């Protein structure tokens, strides 16, 4: 039940905020994602990795996340988000992102770096909800692409992260709006 509730809350927040963005799309005809303009943004993504706890066997991790925030320039953004690891935790975080090249209409790809920090609460372990909790830090190194035919911006990334002081190397895919 906790898993379904956690996923429902995560999807509800993302859907509500994307519906707001869809309304903006209808009023401005068709928004181009060829470059990041100032204003609201959101992304949704998925990553896979593994934990390597000391003295225990490695454990596979699948993360689903959504970040919402403000694009201050076409090279810097700040956002807040929510994610889950294997539906066993809920993670609230802040993310700073720096595009390493100035984004132009004719450029179809560019590298970026993102710093993410937050806090996690367990939905499974312990005697009650949230007993297993702790900090989350991540350095995301990625490459963003623009597909003109689909008017879609997407990215791939590698992210060494610390989850409650466990090292988790991850790779992932995100869609940016």
Q: Which domains, and CATH codes, for the chain?
A: 2-176 (2.40.160.20)
The secondary element (H helix, E strand) that includes residue 76 is: strand 76-85
11 pLDDT band (50/70/90 cuts)?
low
pLDDT tens track for 134-165: 999 999 999 999 988 888 999 999 999 998 87
Report the pLDDT value the prediction gives residue 100, as an integer from 0 to 100.
92
Answer with the residue of higher pLDDT: 65 or 102: 65
Report the pLDDT value the prediction gives residue 25, as an integer from 0 to 100.
47
Evaluate whether 92 touches 82 at the Cβ level (below 8 Å).
yes
pTM: 0.79
How many helical (H) and strand (E) elements, i.e. helices and strands, does the chain have? 1, 8
Residues in the chain: 177
The secondary element (H helix, E strand) that includes residue 17 is: helix 2-27
pLDDT tens track for 36-70: 678 999 999 999 999 877 777 888 999 999 999 99
Report the pLDDT value the prediction gives residue 27, as an integer from 0 to 100.
46
Report the pLDDT value the prediction gives residue 132, as an integer from 0 to 100.
74
Chain mean pLDDT for the chain: 83
pLDDT > 70: percent of the chain? 77
């Amino acid at each position: 039940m906790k898993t379904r509730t956690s996923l429902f809350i995560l999807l509800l927040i993302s859907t509500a905020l994307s519906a707001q963005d869809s309304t903006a799309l209808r009023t401005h005809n068709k928004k181009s994602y060829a470059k990041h303009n100032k204003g609201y943004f959101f992304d949704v993504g998925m990553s896979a990795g593994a934990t390597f706890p000391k003295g225990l066997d490695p454990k596979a991790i699948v993360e689903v996340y959504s970040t919402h925030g403000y694009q201050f320039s076409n090279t810097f953004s700040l956002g807040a988000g929510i994610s889950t690891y294997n539906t066993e935790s809920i993670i609230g975080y802040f993310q700073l992102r720096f595009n390493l090249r100035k984004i132009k209409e004719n450029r179809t790809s560019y590298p970026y770096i993102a710093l993410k920090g937050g806090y996690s609460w367990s939905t499974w372990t312990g005697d009650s909800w949230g007993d297993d909790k702790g900090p989350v830090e991540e350095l995301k190194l990625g490459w963003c692409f623009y597909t003109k035919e689909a008017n879609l911006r997407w990215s791939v990334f590698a992210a060494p992260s610390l989850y409650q002081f466990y090292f988790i190397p991850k790779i992932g895919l995100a869609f940016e709006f």
